[in-house]
């Protein structure tokens, strides 16, 4: 083999990666946009001078997204109609699918369309948006498994692409984006939740969308500060420059509001993302030498952020209940008038409000009471419940489907994370925290904060019933963190050997062992996912084959 042959992948890696240490702004540096600092083929478009039209250019990253999208669609859509419980939904689909179907059927009345008011549902404990998503699928495919699950599956494919894109924009590397996409594609938790008619994956998608918008906002602000710095105007005002309206931040608020309208734990992301966005704004002003960065952040950044990340989501959340306000038969819609509304903490505070708002508040207080009282100490136990620390290694699974079958045959859907991914969760997140705090590597803000938002709040009340599907929101940030760690590992080389000419693949691998380890790990992830695929898809297994996949006793 020619001596120069092994240098080809090295050149590609040099083009794909940038130094891990952020460089400070230079006084004589030209204004460089965030998109220019990112890999140059992001959404690349070529303008023709004659017509002024923009022509799409197929790039390497476009190709990566196409491949990830194809494999994602194949994995999430193939045999989506299986399984059912004698033609009916399985597991907790039984709660949400009938509600979504009634939402669809109620659209015959355009005024109150979108309401779930069947008394048989009891207390409907989640906001309506996720079930409205499911209703869209049933509007096309009817009350069938495809109708129940198609929207979740389609958004699951888009989630894979979002995870890859976020990792790519944060790391400025196509390769790291590809790594994140592969890991997301092969994660068992994302796979199972993305093929079920439950609410979790709708929120996963919306949280990823909010993260993408927040990353774009940070890039845009960095580019604007670079422009002001290059123009030598950074010190014109003691508080620093006012950077105009931030539409990406507004879009992040919209996505967070939609996430909150699916499940209440969207509040956690509003809090963590809001504080992080303002903190990043402060450190940016300080890094660029603004004389009063704290005051500048308070006046120019914090108040507009509060509007975008708190007020906008709150408005969207209330709007998502439009059908409830318009109806006469919604849950607790007339609790005040029917005297259900009694002995509720805070009655004195909201008694001056219109009846509709009092009923709305009473409904939410009732739902909050339901969630807070769903505890082990109150006698609520479940065979498949798990606590947050077990999610970090996926040590306790969750059975979605396990019908009675022929003796010796197992046909199950078991929610469990791909071990090759989740068993690295603790070390990689600790490594990310170390890189962020000690090495000041700002790229780790996204996976560390996103993971913390989905994990730490659940530690507040450990007595509450919890399940592994709550960890679905952790998976995207774990995938990004693993991909970034692989990017760092990829650079590992032996200087004494790397400086020598490589006349064979053996010496090339010896000089750069990190590349070999990355390839081995990704192959392990893919194999591990394929090996567990039968217990993710209710594929019949013999006793022996099933036992071979029960790596932990707690998975049974």
Question: Which residue, among 333, 324, 265, 169, has the nearest Cα to 474 in the 3D structure?
Answer: 265
Residue 320 lies inside a defined structural domain of this protein: no
Residue 417 lies inside a defined structural domain of this protein: yes
Residue 309 lies inside a defined structural domain of this protein: no
| Residue-wise burial string across 132-154, b where 16 or more C-beta atoms lie within 10 A, e elsewhere | bbbbebbeebebebebbbbbbbb
Residue 123 lies inside a defined structural domain of this protein: yes
Can you give the three-state secondary structure of 425-438, one letter per residue? HHHHHHHHHHHHHC
Looking at the structure of the chain, the number of domains it has is 1
Helix (H, G, I), strand (E, B) or coil at 206: helix
Q: Say if residue 412 is exposed, middle or buried (CB neighbours under 10 Å; 0-12, 13-18, 19+).
A: buried
The C-alpha atoms of residue 66 and residue 165 are separated, in whole angstroms, by 12
User: Taking the alpha carbons of 185, 186, 192, 195 in that order, is the dihedral positive or negative?
Assistant: positive
Question: For residue 55, what are the β-bridge partners?
Answer: 46
Residue 182 lies inside a defined structural domain of this protein: yes
The C-alpha atoms of residue 318 and residue 363 are separated, in whole angstroms, by 13
Q: Which residues contact 241 (CB under 8 A, 6 or more apart)?
A: 224, 225, 228, 233, 234
- Residue 536 · residue 413 · CB < 8 Å: yes
Residue 164 lies inside a defined structural domain of this protein: yes
Show the CA angle centred on residue 338, arms to residues 335 and 340, nearest 5°: 55
Residue 225 lies inside a defined structural domain of this protein: no
Residue 549 lies inside a defined structural domain of this protein: yes
Which token pair is 515? 């590349």
> Phi first, then psi: what are they for 84, rounded to 5°?
-135, 165
The C-alpha atoms of residue 4 and residue 138 are separated, in whole angstroms, by 58
The C-alpha atoms of residue 482 and residue 487 are separated, in whole angstroms, by 9
For 14-59, the DSSP string reads HHH---SSPPPP-TTPPP--HHHHS-TTTT-EEE-TTT--EEE---
Going by their DSSP bridges, the two strands 409-410 and 54-56 should be labelled as unpaired
Neighbours of 477 (CB within 10 A): 27
Q: How far is CA 440 from CA 148, 167, 179, 292, 425, in A?
A: 45, 18, 23, 22, 21
Q: How does pLDDT run along the chain (556 residues), one tens digit per residue? A: 334 333 434 333 333 333 333 333 433 334 444 444 443 343 433 333 333 444 556 789 999 999 999 999 999 999 999 999 888 999 989 999 999 999 998 877 766 667 777 767 777 889 999 999 999 999 999 999 999 999 999 999 999 999 999 999 999 999 999 999 999 999 999 999 999 999 999 999 999 999 999 999 999 999 999 999 988 888 888 898 888 899 999 999 999 999 999 999 999 999 999 999 999 999 999 999 999 999 999 999 999 999 999 999 999 999 999 989 988 888 888 887 776 655 555 555 667 788 888 889 988 988 998 888 888 777 777 888 899 999 999 999 999 999 866 778 899 999 999 999 999 999 999 999 999 999 999 999 999 999 999 999 999 988 888 999 999 999 999 999 999 999 999 887 656 555 555 555 666 666 678 888 999 999 999 999 999 999 999 999 999 999 999 999 999 8
Helix (H, G, I), strand (E, B) or coil at 219: helix
Domain of residue 490 covers: 81-198+396-425+473-556
Question: Which residue, among 212, 190, 204, 199, has the nearest Cα to 129 in the 3D structure?
Answer: 199
Can you give the three-state secondary structure of 224-287, one letter per residue? HHHHHHHCCCCCCCCCCCCCCCCHHHHHHHHHHHHHHCCCCCHHHHHHHHHHHHHHHHHHHHHH
Question: Which residue, among 165, 176, 143, has the nearest Cα to 66 in the 3D structure?
Answer: 165
Q: How far is CA 418 from CA 71, 83, 270, 307, in A?
A: 17, 21, 28, 39
Beta strands per DSSP E along 102-251: none
pLDDT at position 509, please? 63
Distance, CA of 282 to chain centre: 25
The C-alpha atoms of residue 9 and residue 515 are separated, in whole angstroms, by 10
The C-alpha atoms of residue 442 and residue 297 are separated, in whole angstroms, by 18
Residue for token pair 């692989």: 486
pLDDT at position 478, please? 98
For 418-481, the DSSP string reads -HHHHTTHHHHHHHHHHHHHTS--GGGHHHHHHHHHHHGGGGS-TTB---GGGGGGTHHHHHHH
């Amino acid at each position: 083999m020619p001596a120069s042959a092994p240098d080809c992948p090295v050149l590609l890696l040099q083009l794909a990666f940038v130094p891990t240490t952020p460089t400070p702004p230079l006084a004589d540096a030209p204004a460089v946009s965030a998109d220019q600092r990112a890999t140059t083929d992001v959404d690349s478009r070529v303008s023709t001078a004659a017509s002024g039209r923009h022509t799409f250019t197929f790039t390497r990253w476009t190709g990566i997204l196409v491949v990830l999208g194809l494999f994602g669609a194949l994995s999430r859509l193939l045999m989506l109609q299986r399984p059912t419980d004698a033609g009916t939904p399985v597991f907790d689909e039984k709660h949400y699918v009938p509600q979504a179907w009634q939402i669809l059927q109620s659209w015959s009345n355009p005024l109150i369309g979108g309401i779930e008011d069947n008394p048989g549902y009891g207390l409907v404990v989640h906001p309506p948006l996720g079930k409205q998503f499911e209703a869209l699928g049933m509007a096309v495919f009817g009350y069938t498994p495809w109708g129940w699950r198609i929207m979740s599956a389609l958004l699951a494919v888009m989630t894979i692409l979002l995870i890859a894109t976020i990792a790519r924009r944060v790391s400025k590397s196509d390769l790291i984006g590809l790594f994140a996409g592969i890991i997301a594609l092969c994660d068992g938790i994302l796979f199972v939740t993305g093929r079920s008619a439950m609410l979790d994956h709708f929120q996963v998608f919306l949280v990823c969308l909010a993260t993408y918008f927040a990353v774009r906002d940070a890039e845009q602000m960095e580019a604007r500060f670079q422009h002001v710095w290059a123009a030598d105007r950074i010190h014109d005002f003691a508080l620093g420059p006012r950077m105009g309206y931030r539409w990406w931040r507004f879009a992040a608020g919209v996505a967070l509001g939609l996430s909150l309208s699916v499940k209440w734990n969207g509040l956690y992301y509003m809090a963590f993302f809001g504080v992080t966005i303002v903190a990043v704004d402060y450190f940016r002003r300080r890094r660029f030498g603004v004389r009063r960065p704290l005051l500048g952040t308070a006046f120019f950044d914090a108040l507009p952020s509060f509007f975008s990340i708190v007020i906008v989501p709150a408005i969207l959340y209330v709007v998502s209940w439009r059908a409830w306000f318009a109806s006469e038969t919604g849950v607790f819609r007339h609790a005040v008038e029917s005297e259900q509304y009694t002995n509720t903490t805070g009655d004195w505070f909201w008694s001056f409000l219109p009846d509709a708002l009092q009923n709305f508040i009473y409904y939410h207080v009732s739902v909050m009471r339901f969630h807070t009282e769903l505890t082990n100490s109150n006698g609520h136990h479940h065979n498949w419940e798990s606590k947050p620390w077990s999610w970090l290694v996926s040590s306790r699974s969750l059975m979605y489907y396990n019908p009675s079958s022929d003796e010796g045959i197992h046909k199950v859907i078991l929610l469990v994370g791909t071990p090759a991914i989740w068993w690295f969760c603790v070390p990689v997140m600790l490594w990310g925290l170390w890189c962020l705090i000690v090495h000041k590597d700002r790229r780790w803000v996204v996976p560390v904060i996103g993971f913390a938002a989905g994990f730490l709040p659940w530690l507040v009340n450990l007595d509450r019933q919890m399940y592994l599907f709550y960890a679905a929101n952790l998976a995207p940030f774990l995938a990004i963190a693993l991909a970034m760690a692989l990017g760092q590992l990829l650079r590992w080389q032996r200087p004494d050997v790397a400086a020598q000419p490589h006349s064979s693949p053996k010496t090339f691998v010896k000089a750069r062992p990190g590349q070999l380890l990355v390839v081995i790990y990704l192959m392990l992830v893919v194999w591990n996912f394929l090996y567990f695929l039968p217990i993710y898809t209710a594929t019949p297994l013999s006793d022996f084959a099933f036992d071979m996949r029960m790596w932990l006793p707690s998975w049974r």
